[in-house]
Amino acid sequence: MPELPEVETVRRGLLPAMKGKAVLAADIRRPDLRFPFPERMAERLTGARVLGLHRRSKYILADLSTRETLLIHLGMSGRMLISGVMPGVFHQEHPAPAKHDHVVLDMEGGARVTFNDARRFGAMDLMTTALAEEHWLLRDIGPEPLGNTFNEEYLVGRLKGRTMPVKAALLDQRIVAGLGNIYVCEVLHRARIDPRRKAGQISAARVAGLVPIIRDVLNEAIEAGGSSLRDYRQADGELGYFQHAFRAYDREAKPCVTPGCTGTVARIVQSGRSTFFCPRCQR
């Protein structure tokens, strides 16, 4: 599933095609994805102008002139693809509709934005903008890791006394928004913390040290356009490149890259997910 860097990269890619532009036509080609689409979705989108695009955790939110917000979740395999006119970049013909093109938005200016989702685990919804934070998919999400409310004091307080493994704690969207399996593995490797350790048994100093590492890993991944392992593509169809910089994730049986460490990256399963770490330097 795309994590924060991938979703942020897609959001930025959509800006030239959508921000400030009106939806000239909305073609909704099925009644649902993971959840049913909202009633009269095509009618409510057609004519609406996109005032802004922002991200909350792993969701893209498009604020509309109709005082509604379009929520987009990419799920496991969802892609937001752009064709047609991209200001200052290129011009291309719109491709013929593909089998898994489920929502097609023709935008003012000539761009077409298509939500393609082969596995149909993605989602779209419409909600009142003023009440967006109360939406059932958003209301319990913790602070954004790149925002000011996510700081050392906050994280130390949230992990204090917790008996769950630290990896599970960082994956908990109620504690911190947007982190997923890939980036938690990378963060814990850089911090040299064993992913199996109970979160509440890690010293406050080491927990506090996770905050700048989390920010560094996420910013580096965003700069690289995210990580492309299976389905993920940027909005222009290009791959992300952060997978080439992995230090732990998907490196089972390869030498640890931590300076001075002679260990080998191992893979274990935690809560049904693969965890990659170095047993020698992560303690």
Active site positions, annotated: 2-3, 58, 273
Nearest of 85, 101, 118 to residue 236 by alpha carbon: 85
SS3 214: helix
According to DSSP, residue 264 is labeled B
What region, left, alpha or beta, does residue 96 occupy, with left being phi > 0 and alpha being psi -120 to 50 degrees?
beta
Tokens of 127: 């909600």
CA distance 275 to 95: 39
Closest CA to 72 of 160, 28, 137: 137
28 forms beta bridges with 103
- Decide: 96 and 136 in contact? Cβ < 8 Å: no
How many whole angstroms separate alpha carbon 14 and alpha carbon 26? 16
| Beta partners for residue 71, in sequence order | 61, 125
Query: How many degrees, rounded to 5, is the angle at CA 214 between CA 208 and CA 215?
Result: 105
Closest CA relative to residue 54, chosen from 116, 106, 114, 129: 129
- Measured CA to CA, the distance from residue 218 to residue 240 in angstroms comes to 13
